[in-house]
Amino acid sequence: MSVIVLEEISLGFGKKTLFDRLALRVAQTDRIGLIGPNGSGKTSLLRIIAGEQAPDSGNLRVSRGTRLGYLAQELELSTEQSLKDFVRASVPGRAELETALSAADQEMNALRKSARNDAAEIETAQLDLGERISNLHERLAHYDMQYSDHEMLRILAGLGFRTSDHDRSLVELSGGWRMRAVLASLLFQQPDLLLLDEPTNHLDMPTVAWFADFLKRYRKAFILICHDREFLNEQIERVVSFEPEAVRQYSGNYQTYLAQRAEEQVILENKAKNIQREREQAERFIARFRAQATKARAVQSRIKALQRMESVETYQTRRSMRFCFPPSERSGQDVLTLNEVSKRYGDNVVLDKLNLTVYRGEKIGIIGVNGAGKTTLLKMMAGEIEPDSGELRLGYNVTAGYYAQHHSETLERNATVFDQVAGQNPDAGITRVRTILGSFLFSGDDVDKKVSALSGGERSRVALARLLIKPGNLLLMDEPTNHLDLESSESLAESLTTYDGTLIFVSHNRSLMRRLAEKIWNVAERGVETYPGTLDEYLDSCRRRRNQGEQEPKSTPPQPRPAAPASADFPQHRERKASRAADKERKRLEALLREQRRRRLEPLEKQLGEIETAIAGLEELQRQRSELLADPGVYADKERSARLIRCYKEDKEKLDQLNDRWEKIQTELERSRS
């Protein structure tokens, strides 16, 4: 049964069509991922489903009684309610029941104080009112069983809220924590269809892991937009993709979608090549036999076949962010040293007496819960803020580049895209600036746009372009994939593998962390625990320590990097291994089919080539003989003219036979290629 049905939905802005006559059905347990570049229409589609935006045409049908829950990227929330009251009151129907119960209680109190003398009438009214109050209490009890405070507190804890946050007003919370509050209310409501627009953007890695587990257990439908490849692969079973040619739908997760899309592209390209080859062969046949009366029927047949041939359009190549870091200057061995560094905000000590050393070429991933001090640590290393005590020292010949999480704060809103990037490195020429902007999808008049007119994803690309124009040999990046679409996030990860300097980055994106981090810093309890290994090795170490009942240390001294655990220990490794095996098997079958096809076609193509060579030779001889026989002087030598006529007739028969053979082999070849 479908909870919603979209029929022939169309939407456009100005001259741009986002989607045209889109049809989509969402069943009761569908797990759908929306993918596509920024600006392709993913958020607009969620807004239409949520009823916050009207389509240009088409119908949206929602099954009776279906409850929707929508988590938008941008939230406007200014309620004075406490966190607990906000989440509890979000359950549909509770507020109405509580209002009805309060009114019934007041009515009962008024009835008891009534001065009327008709005791029987009062007693009857009290009985009726008591029954109504009892019914309301029963319905509220049912609500409390289905939406218990225990479940609410479990969700709040899973999303990172402390007990002390429960009675805080929502207006006191930052934007990221308000988003978590709204997410908590949606998870508590358990709507029939969850609409989630980049829900992991403001979540730290432990919270992402909890949220992933929650969604895996969720037995109702959801539609998800997310730039984290691994999160998508874990959660979705169907892909709705905004492609250049149209909105397409695929079964399976994101990895399966990529394989299906690539296979479709190969099939279309091969089909287009085959049709072009058949077209050329038909045209050759028509040109060769057009003048021969005996081949008139065959020529007409080929002309009609040529007119019926379909045209095959291969998929358009979507522009994507592509760039490569230039070689960086060599720094000293010790790139960055923190000695007894501390930082506090008022009475809140965030980081206390840190002692850390960063060595040349290290790729360090910083993890930890929100509020632990990850961004504060990165800002101190970038020189954006000063430590309250201790010393932070850059090594010899170190130049740092910093990408802020809230990059919009670092951009001048009234400046153009070109000026923002060119101003970062005045020595770079116009050509280099435009080349870099082109690799970040800014070309033509786009470079003259003002920053204030850009989307969040476009501003992210401007900030990355500023970094690339003068990256330095130490890169400090705070949540670099926020606001980027999935394809751009993947491209960024690929590009960062080309960086030969030292990289320190904060990210909740597990795909990025697993791909880049060779060392982990876990910021917790005012300190930093260091682990000389990958994220998976670190998490495995934490699991083993918990199982053994060991206390996780605040920090660990440098130690030899442990051997990586077997890939089979981790689901994502098993998934990659299975994907590689499936890809290997697919390639093996394709190679086998190509070899079988080659063995079948090669002899025919060879015969066809030999016949065409023989035909060309005989046709040239016949042309020469025709010229001689047209000369009256040839007939003066009867023996010579008789020989010429005899040879002309014999070769004409040979040409007819060769043409018949050519036609038969050509037909067989066409059948074999189809």
Question: Which secondary structure element, helix H or strand E, spans residue 51, and what is its range?
Answer: none
The reply to whether 233 and 347 lie within a common domain is: no
Q: What is the 3-state secondary structure (H, E, C) of 144-168?
A: HHHCCHHHHHHHHHHCCCCHHHCCC
Question: Is residue 341 situated within a structural domain?
Answer: yes
Give the tokens for residue 35: 């993918």
Q: Which of 55-64, 395-404, 589-598 has the lowest mean pLDDT?
A: 589-598
Question: Is residue 314 situated within a structural domain?
Answer: no
The reply to whether 233 and 362 lie within a common domain is: no
* Residues 512/494, Cβ–Cβ less than 8 Å: no
Mean pLDDT of 611-639: 77
How many Cβ atoms sit within 10 Å of the Cβ of residue 609? 10
Question: Is residue 422 situated within a structural domain?
Answer: no
Helix axes 254-289, 638-673, angle to 10 degrees: 160
373: pLDDT strictly greater than 80: yes
The reply to whether 161 and 204 lie within a common domain is: yes
Report pTM.
0.66
The reply to whether 486 and 389 lie within a common domain is: yes
Question: Is residue 13 situated within a structural domain?
Answer: yes
Question: Is residue 47 situated within a structural domain?
Answer: yes
CATH of the domain at 645: 1.10.287
CATH of the domain at 211: 3.40.50.300
The reply to whether 237 and 343 lie within a common domain is: no
Question: Is residue 161 situated within a structural domain?
Answer: yes
Q: How far is CA 664 from CA 281, 308, 671, in A?
A: 13, 21, 11
- Domain stop point among 558, 577, 611: 558
* Residues 417/462, Cβ–Cβ less than 8 Å: yes
- Banded model confidence at residue 122, pLDDT cuts 50, 70, 90: low
Could you tell me which residues come within 8 angstroms of residue 32 by beta carbon, excluding any fewer than 6 positions away? 26, 221, 222, 223, 224, 236, 237, 238, 239, 240
pLDDT tens digits, one per residue of 228-281: 888 999 999 999 999 888 899 999 999 899 888 888 888 777 777 777 777 888
256/237 Cα distance (integer angstroms): 9
285/299 Cα distance (integer angstroms): 7
565: pLDDT strictly greater than 50: no
The reply to whether 553 and 650 lie within a common domain is: no
Question: Is residue 200 situated within a structural domain?
Answer: yes
Give the tokens for residue 213: 């587990």
Q: Give me the domain span that covers residue 175.
A: 2-90+149-243
- Domain stop point among 558, 575, 595: 558
Mean pLDDT of 28-47: 90
Question: Is residue 288 situated within a structural domain?
Answer: no
Amino acid 570: pLDDT = 46
- Domain stop point among 228, 243, 258: 243
- Determine the length of the chain: 674
209: pLDDT strictly greater than 90: no
How many Cβ atoms sit within 10 Å of the Cβ of residue 159? 20
- Banded model confidence at residue 505, pLDDT cuts 50, 70, 90: very high
Amino acid 572: pLDDT = 47
Give the residue among 372, 3, 34, 50 at the shortest CA–CA distance from 198.
Answer: 34
The number of distinct structural domains making up the chain is 4
Mean pLDDT of 31-56: 90
The reply to whether 504 and 643 lie within a common domain is: no
Over the chain, what is the mean pLDDT? 82
- Banded model confidence at residue 89, pLDDT cuts 50, 70, 90: confident
The reply to whether 128 and 223 lie within a common domain is: no
Helix axes 638-673, 571-629, angle to 10 degrees: 160
The reply to whether 481 and 351 lie within a common domain is: yes
- Banded model confidence at residue 649, pLDDT cuts 50, 70, 90: confident
The reply to whether 83 and 102 lie within a common domain is: no
Which residue in this structure is represented by tokens 């309890």?
Answer: 525
Amino acid 571: pLDDT = 46
pLDDT tens digits, one per residue of 447-460: 888 888 777 777 88
The reply to whether 628 and 653 lie within a common domain is: yes
437/446 Cα distance (integer angstroms): 9
The reply to whether 38 and 115 lie within a common domain is: no
